[in-house]
Amino acid sequence: MGKRLDGKVCIITGAASGFGKAMVHEFIKEGAKIFAIDISKKVQDLKKEVDGELHTYSADVSNLIQVAEAFKKCNEIYGRLDILCNNAGITGLVETPLHEFNLEAWDKVFAVNVRGAFIVLQEAIKMMLKSGGGSVVNTGSIGGYRATPGSSAYIVSKGAMVMLTKQAALEYVKDGIRVNSINPGTCNTPLLDDFSQEAKDFLASQVPIGRLGEPVEVAKLALFLASDESSYISGQDHIIDGGRSTE
């Protein structure tokens, strides 16, 4: 039996930690050829962790020139793109009321979570149009549907990801490009590093399943959407939040 992503070329942004790192591990086990991008030089450490074909590249997704150079490099290596995991994101300020939210901090979140996601998606679609199609998995958040006090920039930016997914899915479905999103609830990732333990405990207490999610669980959902197993799914936002949104 063949592997689910055997030979497929996949770009993963935000690959050095959290969901992105888990995606690298899960996708490469299924035969994908990975081009991993992260602003952190730690992305290079992935080469020591996985057994498979992996190239790494350090780039800021909010920087148009750096993103264009990253995709150019991927194209030079592979000449095509089959999968994009548009995953890079930041939390920004937390536990900060909206009226006290610093505009510079707000702009920084939107630079990565909205501008960055848009730039990466544009470059990926250009390659996929030449490749004859592909699958895009955007990383959104349950925050795109449900507000969290004190995290206004992050919440609003992930709301934008919901419509970016639907817009791209509608525009490119006839070109053989599927676009979906994964929308995790609160999970054990570095995005929680700035939260107090009290805040983390509160978040965990809100989850009906009784715990926070793990990155590998989110990566497995991304794997399904990236693979041909989801060939009839496009423009959909898939919530993975331990049942929180059912309340």
Catalytic sites, residue numbers: 154
Residues in Cβ contact with 97 at an 8 Å cutoff, skipping those fewer than 6 apart: 149, 150
For residue 168, the tally of other CB atoms under 10 A from its CB is 25
Q: Which two tokens stand for residue 194?
A: 């700035």
List C-alpha distances in Å: 241 to 41, 49, 50, 210: 30, 28, 27, 11
Residues 6+ apart with CB under 8 A from 171: none
